[in-house]
């Protein structure tokens, strides 16, 4: 059993890496177990026993609370730091009260600064678009900055009163007494590193453009700075590989020179209408935390079902791979949930460790399941076919893989 190491700016992964998994809450245990079966089958098919994942379970969420009185026990956090990769089922987070999101806690602890969500149409899904085949986007959402740093106070708290008094007395800014307050930090270093990752990804995967999504017209020193720092990183660090939109018109008469990556930007509200009205014009979207959260789901909806999407949270110390959807509590324990989001998260993990043959095998099997209408109830109800259960769907995928 080998731990994944990080040396000289690179991860080293043996043929028998030890990878952690947490089953999660609600539908988590069913879909996580089903997905691990699919991943193992694809790895076996691709490498005939020469490569194998050694799964190790860690406890998190409701089950950990019952056992250890803590939703994120210290030993789970230690194991994540040591093993670096976590394949994680969805975890419950209460709205407006209670404990802080466990997902956010893990992301911040590991400094997993990029949330990467590929959104590509599966032929056969019911999409709200006329030409959903045109959707092939990858959202890079900054994960550690912005309004998600958790600096906020309730309207009547002493902290909020102190902050409002300071703003009033020292900065000549008046905030009404009944307001809660939050702080939106945006860092140059954090913008630079996510930009670097998005551009490297775009270049390695031969994507056409990276679009910076921001609301810099209104929030000039946070969102506007994100735009400025992202361009600055692109121009200073990738000069030979990129062309900015301004240069495209001033130097190239509007025609992209071949082999170059276009860097452009769109104001957040425009970005939403653009991806809906003209999805084929967009490729990699680079966004700060809050914009990235919104656009990820909106982009997901374009292909008809965010239940089929996975996401990767990556940093320089490791990664966490999960479905985009949550715990869907009403379906928990009923063997009806769709495990595709978790399976797609598994393909992102395989890509991260460089086992792309196994990833491709899974992608082909998923495409075949949808095109032959072998699907769970969430998709079956639109296709008008008999649904498969969670386990039966996973067995069907494993059958396609073994064929």
| Residue ranges in contact with ligand NAP by CB under 6 A | 27, 31, 90-93, 103, 307, 322, 325-328, 330-331, 337-338, 341, 378
We find the least distance from the C-beta atom of residue 325 to ligand NAP, in angstroms, to be 3
β-bridge pairing 85-88 and 18-22: parallel
- 15, 269, 330, 334: which is the annotated catalytic residue? 269
Q: Is residue 269 among the annotated active site residues?
A: yes
Within 8 A by CB and 6+ apart from 225, the residues are: 186, 188, 191, 216
Nearer to ligand NAP, 98 or 259 (CB): 98
Q: Which is nearer to ligand NAP, 116 or 186 (CB)?
A: 116
Give the integer Cα–Cα distance in Å for 385 and 403.
23
Q: How far apart, in Å, do the first and last CA atoms of the chain sit?
A: 29
Measured CA angle at 104 (ends 103, 108), to 5 deg: 120
**Long-range contacts of residues 224-227, Cβ cutoff 8 Å, at least 24 apart:** 225/186, 225/188, 225/191, 226/142, 226/186, 226/191, 226/288, 227/265
Q: Which is nearer to ligand NAP, 93 or 274 (CB)?
A: 93
Marked catalytic residue, from 293, 305, 363, 378: 293
Tokens 């008809």 map to which residue?
304
Round to whole Å and give the CA distance between 226 and 214: 7
Q: Which is nearer to ligand NAP, 27 or 137 (CB)?
A: 27
CB of 30 to ligand NAP, least distance (A): 9
- Minimum CB distance to ligand NAP, residue 31 (Å): 6
- Which is nearer to ligand NAP, 77 or 163 (by Cβ)? 77
Residue nearest to ligand NAP (CB): 326
Question: Is 282 a residue of the active site?
Answer: no
Instruction: Provide the minimum distance between the beta carbon of 186 and ligand NAP in the complex, in angstroms, as a whole number.
Output: 23
Q: How far apart, in whole angstroms, are the C-alpha atoms of residue 178 and residue 155?
A: 6
Residue 215: active-site member: yes
CB atoms within 10 A of CB 302: 19
Q: How far is the CB of 84 from ligand NAP (least distance, A)?
A: 19
Of 21, 113, 121, 148, the active-site residue reads: 148
Which of 277, 315, 339, 344 minimizes the C-alpha distance to 119? 344
Residue nearer to ligand NAP on the CB measure, 31 or 248: 31
At residue 177, what are phi and psi to the nearest 5 degrees? -60, -30
Task: Find the shortest distance in angstroms from Cβ 329 to ligand NAP.
Answer: 6
Known catalytic residue: 136?
A: no
Determine which one of 51, 190, 215, 359 is catalytic. Answer: 215
Contact 103, 93 (CB under 8 A): yes
Instruction: Supply the residues annotated as catalytic.
Output: 148, 215, 269, 293
């Amino acid at each position: 059993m080998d731990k994944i190491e990080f040396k000289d700016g690179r991860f080293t992964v043996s043929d028998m890496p030890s990878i952690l998994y947490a089953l999660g809450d609600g539908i988590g245990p069913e879909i996580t177990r089903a997905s691990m079966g699919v991943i193992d089958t694809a790895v076996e098919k691709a490498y005939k026993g020469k490569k194998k994942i050694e799964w190790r379970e860690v406890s998190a969420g409701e089950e950990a609370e019952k056992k250890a009185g803590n939703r994120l026990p210290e030993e789970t956090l230690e194991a994540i730091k040591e093993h670096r990769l976590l394949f994680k089922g969805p975890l419950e987070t209460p709205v407006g009260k209670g404990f802080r999101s466990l997902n956010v806690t893990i992301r911040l602890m590991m400094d997993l600064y990029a949330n990467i969500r590929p959104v590509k149409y599966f032929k056969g899904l019911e999409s709200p678009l006329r030409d959903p085949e045109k959707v092939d986007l990858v959202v890079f959402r900054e994960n550690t900055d912005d309004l998600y740093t958790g600096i906020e106070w309730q309207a009547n708290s002493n902290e909020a009163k102190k902050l409002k008094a300071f703003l009033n007395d020292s900065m000549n800014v008046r905030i009404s007494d009944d307001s809660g307050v939050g702080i939106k930090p945006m860092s140059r270093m954090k913008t630079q590193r996510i930009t670097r990752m998005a551009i490297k990804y775009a270049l390695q995967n031969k994507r056409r453009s990276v679009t910076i999504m921001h609301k810099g017209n209104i929030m000039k020193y946070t969102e506007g700075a994100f735009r400025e720092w992202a361009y600055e990183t692109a121009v200073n660090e990738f000069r030979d590989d990129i062309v900015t939109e301004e240069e495209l018109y001033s130097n190239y008469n509007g025609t992209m020179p071949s082999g170059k990556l276009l860097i452009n930007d769109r104001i957040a509200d425009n970005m939403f209408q653009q991806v809906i009205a003209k999805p084929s014009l967009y490729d990699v979207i680079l966004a700060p935390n809050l914009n990235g959260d919104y656009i990820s789901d909106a982009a997901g909806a374009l292909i008809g079902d965010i239940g089929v999407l996975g996401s990767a949270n990556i940093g320089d110390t490791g990664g966490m791979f999960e479905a985009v959807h949550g715990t869907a509590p009403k379906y928990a324990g009923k063997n009806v949930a769709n495990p595709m989001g978790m399976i797609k998260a598994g393909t992102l993990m395989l890509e991260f460790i460089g086992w792309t043959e196994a990833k491709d095998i899974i992608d082909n099997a998923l495409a075949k399941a949808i095109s032959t209408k072998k699907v769970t109830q969430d998709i079956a109800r639109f296709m008008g076919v008999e649904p498969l259960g969670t386990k039966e769907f996973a067995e069907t995928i494993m059958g396609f893989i073994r064929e």
